[in-house]
Amino acid sequence: MSHSEPNCLDMARGQLLKAAEKLALPQEVCEILSQPMRVVRVSFPVEMDDGRIRVFIGYRSQHNNALGPFKGGIRFHPQVTMEEVIALSMWMTFKCAVVGLPYGGGKGGVVCDPRELSPGELERLSRGYIRAIAPFIGPHKDIPAPDVYTNPQIMAWMMDEFSRLKGYNAFGVITGKPLSLGGSLGRKEATARGCFITIREMAKALGLPLKGARVAIQGFGNAGSIVAKLLAGEGASVIAVVDSKGGAYNPEGLDPWKLAEYKASTGTVGGFPHSKAIDSQQLLTLDCDILIPAALENQITGVIASEVKARIIAEAANGPTTLEADRVLQQKGVKVIPDILANAGGVTVSYFEWVQNNTGHYWPEEEVNCRLEQVMVRAFRETYEMHLEQGVDMRMAAYMVALRRLYEAMRLRGWLGTEER
């Protein structure tokens, strides 16, 4: 991230302040929520395959637990910073609150490039990180999950390491695990499915048929690739996709199933047969109906926003749109389904996974999907109503729905002082 771009933490705080002002909440609410309750910074040694020891830096930010234990993913990325992790943990607090989960917000990160590590090194790194943060996490304390460049295998190692330390199988300490280790059916697809549901609801509200709608997607990882398939399944046309190494564009539509196979064998969507190369900036400003940023933060800047042609932006990634871009998009009348709503499907099914771990009773996939559908549709409607009633954009509306819940919980817990005084 360059210095001229707003940093994520300022963005997260800016969004909080705007929503708190609009709801006329006491100042203490903002003071509490603009800081994480705890941030852990760890360094830990990892033995590399050649026998050398490398020391890695990791973080875990526990933003707020008024509504329940801290919850949120762990990312492995070379550009992870403490500030970014704090901002992401703040977004988790609002995400869990907007969909009504009994969780607070947390996030973790390790500064590393997992693409350069062997499987053995990745396993030792994952275990080392969990040993370092073990005193601060637990099934009723703080429950990590996957995020950028982490996956079910990594969750399995982490759960195993934590369980060894505790001397019992603590399946509920982490979500996004493989199915054979207490994972939930439907978790893998959950972020994309939740995003798809919010797009479908928004398209319905705008009278835009999904059939034939032109879709552009930035990022073709777990969220981007599955949302592409779900939309194509409804007759939408995925016309452009970019990933970190390349891009593919075809105005007649790309086949997301073939594209996923192609990426699995070549490592990128770039060079896909019958497609033209396209870069991120071109994709974000492409003539399309639905734009899905499904990569990293700060992708849609003010300058890009002024060129956006889509009618709907669904933020599958966390924090892809800057505050400046938000203002521009609102003026242009582009409907932005904010990250804390659009990508909440992942943590929602993480919650279902944790419930299944805690009860020892496992649900069929239809039950998971049906409950996810209910949660997402309800959260979408509450946010959409707030947006209409208050005349604010969807992001502000989502923050307001979330903040009302957080305020109520903090007030009842007595965090805001005694009312009778």
The contact pattern for ligand GLU, residues 73-102, with x = CB under 6 A and - = no contact, is: x---------------------x-------
182, 259 contact by CB (below 8 A) = no
Of residues 60 and 71, the one with the C-beta less far from ligand GLU: 71
Q: How many residues bind ligand GLU (CB under 6 A)?
A: 13
What is the spatial order of strands in the sheet that 105-111 belongs to? 38-47, 53-64, 105-111, 70-77, 142-146
Residues 6+ apart with CB under 8 A from 52: none
- Coil, helix or strand at residue 168: coil
76, 63 contact by CB (below 8 A) = no
107 is catalytic: yes
**What are the beta bridge partners of residue 313?**
291, 336
Of residues 69 and 270, the one with the C-beta less far from ligand GLU: 69
Binders of ligand GLU among residues 156 to 175 (CB under 6 A) are: 175
Binders of ligand GLU among residues 315 to 334 (CB under 6 A) are: 318
Give me the residue whose beta carbon is nearest to ligand GLU: 73
366, 372 contact by CB (below 8 A) = no
Binders of ligand GLU among residues 351 to 410 (CB under 6 A) are: none
Closest approach, Cβ 193 to ligand GLU, in A, equals: 13
Binders of ligand GLU among residues 280 to 319 (CB under 6 A) are: 318
Distances (CA, A) of 381 to 200, 330, 347: 12, 19, 19
**What are the beta bridge partners of residue 319?**
none
Burial 281-312 (b: 16+ CB within 10 A, else e): ebbbbbebbbbbbbbbbbbbbbebbeebebbb
Distances (CA, A) of 371 to 190, 390, 405: 11, 28, 21
Closest approach, Cβ 102 to ligand GLU, in A, equals: 13
Closest approach, Cβ 62 to ligand GLU, in A, equals: 13
Helical ranges in 34-109 per DSSP H: 82-98
| Position 28, amino acid | E
- Which residue in the set 343, 357, 369, 383 belongs to the binding site for ligand GLU (CB under 6 A)? 343
Of residues 128 and 176, the one with the C-beta less far from ligand GLU: 176
Of residues 179 and 412, the one with the C-beta less far from ligand GLU: 179
Closest approach, Cβ 182 to ligand GLU, in A, equals: 14
Burial 217-231 (b: 16+ CB within 10 A, else e): bbbbbbbbbbbbbbb
Of residues 71 and 311, the one with the C-beta less far from ligand GLU: 71
Binders of ligand GLU among residues 33 to 72 (CB under 6 A) are: 71-72
Interface with ligand GLU includes 189 (CB under 6 A)? Answer: no
Closest approach, Cβ 53 to ligand GLU, in A, equals: 30
Closest approach, Cβ 80 to ligand GLU, in A, equals: 13
Beta strand segments in 165-288, E: 214-218, 237-242, 247-249
Of residues 362 and 415, the one with the C-beta less far from ligand GLU: 362
Binders of ligand GLU among residues 137 to 156 (CB under 6 A) are: 145, 147
Closest approach, Cβ 175 to ligand GLU, in A, equals: 5
Binding segment (CB under 6 A) for ligand GLU, from list 51-59, 78-86, 340-348, 408-416: 340-348
Binding segment (CB under 6 A) for ligand GLU, from list 37-45, 211-219, 295-303, 343-351: 343-351
Of residues 95 and 311, the one with the C-beta less far from ligand GLU: 95
Distance CA 94, CA 314 (A): 17
The sign of the CA dihedral 386, 391, 394, 398 is negative
Of residues 91 and 249, the one with the C-beta less far from ligand GLU: 91
Closest approach, Cβ 103 to ligand GLU, in A, equals: 8
Burial 185-203 (b: 16+ CB within 10 A, else e): bbbbbbbbbbbbbbbbbbb
Distance CA 84, CA 259 (A): 31
**Which helix H or strand E contains 99, and what residues bound it?**
none
Active-site residue, selected from the candidate residues 71, 95, 107, 335 = 107
- Which residue in the set 225, 346, 400, 407 belongs to the binding site for ligand GLU (CB under 6 A)? 346
Binding site residues, ligand GLU, CB under 6 A:
71-73, 95, 145, 147, 175-176, 318, 343, 346-347, 350
Positions marked active-site: 107
